[in-house]
Amino acid sequence: MQVGWVSGEKDGERRYHVSMPVRWRDLDAYNHVNNATMLTLLEEARTIAFWKVHPDDPSPQRPMAVVDAQANSATNTLISRQEAEYKVPIPYGHEPLDIQIWLSEIAAASVEVSYEVWNPVNSPKRILHTLARTTIVFVDTATGRPRRVSESERAAWQPFLGAPSRMRVDRQRRD
């Protein structure tokens, strides 16, 4: 699996892309990716994007990977909110999905991650399957309390800050 790549450096819509395969076991009885499985695929993409797995991270291929994921890390990442809007069912295919990730908010001790899940990049027609957002809170493992987003994290993530995924629920909240 390709680790990831960055797009939008010219138009200002900078996103991190993760190629995520659909496994046969990801399908449900309706022969498409199950809604709960979609949240797992987003989790896997998010850990690729954000977790620093060795001292050399962030590398040019993983510019957002600044959260220490080692076993004895000083920080835990907790999900405080998650929502998804399913647009088109995802069938089984041999090419990986294109999961696009960016930040829609960087707060004092949390970030809101936005996602778009697209069919494979080499498809003749692009299809948007899922929109989603996740709020991640950073917690100090010693105290169990939220900790502030560090300056190095903010600097790494600022270039990926953009408008949130526009979901149906947003339109309903305005009305």
Q: What is the residue-averaged pLDDT of the chain?
A: 90
> What is the per-residue pLDDT across 9-43, written as a single tens digit (0 to 9) for each?
767 789 999 999 998 888 888 888 999 999 999 99
CA distances to 72, 96, 100, 146 from 4, in Å? 26, 12, 10, 29
Angle at 11 between CA 110 and CA 49, to 5 degrees: 35
Q: Which of 69, 175, 93, 82 is nearest to 134 (CA)?
A: 82
C-alpha 37/C-alpha 19 separation (Å) is 16
Share of the chain above pLDDT 70, in %: 93
The two structure tokens encoding residue 69: 């994921």
The two structure tokens encoding residue 12: 């200002």
* pLDDT attached to residue 1: 46
* Averaged pLDDT, 118-142: 96
pLDDT band at 174 (very low <50, low <70, confident <90, very high): low
The CATH number of 5-174, from 3.30.420.40, 3.40.228.10, 3.40.50.20, 3.10.129.10, is: 3.10.129.10
* pLDDT attached to residue 2: 54
This prediction has a pTM of: 0.91
C-alpha 129/C-alpha 117 separation (Å) is 6
* pLDDT attached to residue 60: 74
* Averaged pLDDT, 67-72: 82
Of the candidate ranges 52-61, 83-92, 130-139, 159-168, the one whose mean pLDDT is the lowest: 52-61
Of the candidate ranges 5-14, 49-58, 78-87, the one whose mean pLDDT is the lowest: 49-58
The two structure tokens encoding residue 91: 């069938």
pLDDT, greater one: 28 or 155: 155
What does the domain layout of the chain look like in residue ranges?
Answer: 5-174
* pLDDT attached to residue 30: 86
pLDDT exceeds 90 at position 154: yes
User: How many residues in the chain?
Assistant: 175
